[in-house]
Amino acid sequence: MSDTRHGLTLTAASAVLAGGFVIHNGDHLRRGLDVVDDGVVWGGTVVAMLLAVMLTLVVVRHPSAPAVATVGGLSIVVGVSAAHLLPEWGPLSDPLPGGDVDAFTWIAVLAEIVGAAVVSAVGLRILRAHDFAFRIADWPQYR
C-alpha cells in the first residue's frame, strides 16, 4: 500500500476514534458526571489530551504520527476497557457490567474502544511497512 493510501487510512481511522470519543463522552454527560468518580473524569481528561496530540500529529502528517497512533490507540483501548468493562476495582473504575446503564452506554463505550483499536492497528501496519521506524521521513505531506 502506498504512503498516500496509509495516510488516508490513518486519517479515517483517527476520525472514527474521534467520533467514538465524542459519543462516549456525550453519554457521560447524558448520564450525569455525578454518577462517576473524579478519577474516571480525570482518566477521561487524560484520554482527551492524548487524543488531541494524536489527531494533531495525524492531520499535519508528522513523521511520528504512526508510532504515536499505535501506542496511543492501544493505551486508550486498555484504559477505557479497564475503566468500563472490568468489575469495580478502584477510583478509575466505572464498570458497565452490573451497572445501571442502557444499551446506548454500551454502544458508546465500545465505539471508542473499537475506534482506538483500529487506529492502533493502522498505525502498526504503517510502522511494519517502514521497518518499525519511530519517525518516518517519507510520510506523505499532503492535506
Q: Is residue 140 part of a domain?
A: no
Q: Is residue 104 part of a domain?
A: yes
In the chain, % of residues over pLDDT 70: 90
Containing structural domain, residue 45: 3-129
The residue type at 32:
G
By the 10 Å C-beta count (0-12 exposed, 13-18 middle, 19+ buried), 121 is classed as middle
Could you report the per-residue pLDDT of 23-76, keeping only the tens digit for each?
Answer: 999 998 898 888 888 888 899 999 999 999 999 999 988 889 999 999 999 999
Mean pLDDT of the chain, nearest integer:
87
What global pTM score does this model have? 0.86
Q: Is residue 106 part of a domain?
A: yes
Q: What's the whole-number mean pLDDT along residues 96-125?
A: 93
Q: How far apart are CA 95 and CA 100, in angstroms?
A: 10
Total structural domains within the chain: 1
